[in-house]
Amino acid sequence: MSDNKDAPPSFAMKMSLSGIRLRFSSVQQISTGDLNSMSNNADDLLLADFRYKYEYDISRIPGAIWFDYEETLEDNVNKLLNLVRDKQNTFNGTLNVVAYCALGFRSCQLIEKFQEKLLESDMGLYGHCKCYNLEGSIFKWANEGKPLVSSNGSPTVFVHPFNKVWGKLLDDKFHKS
C-alpha cells in the first residue's frame, strides 16, 4: 500500500476533525504521519483501538490492542491503566499512548478520561506517559493508504464504515461491513 499523503482531506473531514478538536481541547492530537513514524519503535508505543468488535474484526492498525467500546468507559480506562503500568515495568522511558476509533470522537473520550485517571492515580505514571488521539483515526489512516491488517494479520485495505453518515468520510473503495 502506498501513502496517499498528497491528497488533501475532504471539507467534511476537515470540519469533523475541527469539531472533535474543539470538543476535546484537552486531548492532544497526533498526525497519521507521526504515528506511522512512531510505529517503528513499538517499545515506547501503546496503540489502543477503541471500536466495536465488528469494526476491529475487519481491520486494525498493526500492533493495536482492542478496547471494547461496548464495555464501560471506566472499565476501558482501567484496562488501559493496567496495560500502561505493566509496560512501564518492562520499559524505562516515556510511553506514547495513542488511541483511535473510526474518526476520533470515541478515542478522544478514552484519552480524556485516561488522562484524568493518570492525574488521580498514585502509581507515579503521570509524567511517564504522553497521551494522544490519532487525528482522523482509522478513516484518515486508510484514506492515506497506510498499513492495515485483517483479523488474521494479513494486509488489507478495508475498514468498517461505522455507519452511513460517518462512513461518508471514508473513501468508498475502502468500505467493508
CB 78 within 8 A of CB 125: no
DSSP H helices, 24-94, are 32-38, 53-58, 73-90
Number of domains composing the chain: 1
Give the pLDDT of residue 79: 96
CB 81 within 8 A of CB 121: yes
Tens of pLDDT along the chain (177 residues) come to 444 554 566 888 899 999 999 999 999 999 999 999 987 767 789 999 999 999 999 999 999 999 999 999 999 999 999 999 888 878 778 899 999 999 999 999 999 999 999 888 766 666 678 999 999 999 999 999 999 999 999 999 999 998 787 888 888 888 887
Give the pLDDT of residue 2: 44
In Å, the largest CA–CA distance within the chain is 47
Kindly state whether residue 2 falls inside one of the protein's structural domains: no
DSSP annotation of 67 reads E
Kindly state whether residue 6 falls inside one of the protein's structural domains: no
Looking up residue 15, the CATH number of its domain turns out to be 3.40.250.10
Kindly state whether residue 135 falls inside one of the protein's structural domains: yes
Q: Which range of residues forms the domain containing residue 152?
A: 11-169
Kindly state whether residue 36 falls inside one of the protein's structural domains: yes
CB 80 within 8 A of CB 39: no
Give the pLDDT of residue 39: 76
Give the pLDDT of residue 6: 47
Radius of gyration for the chain, computed over Cα atoms and rounded to the nearest angstrom: 15
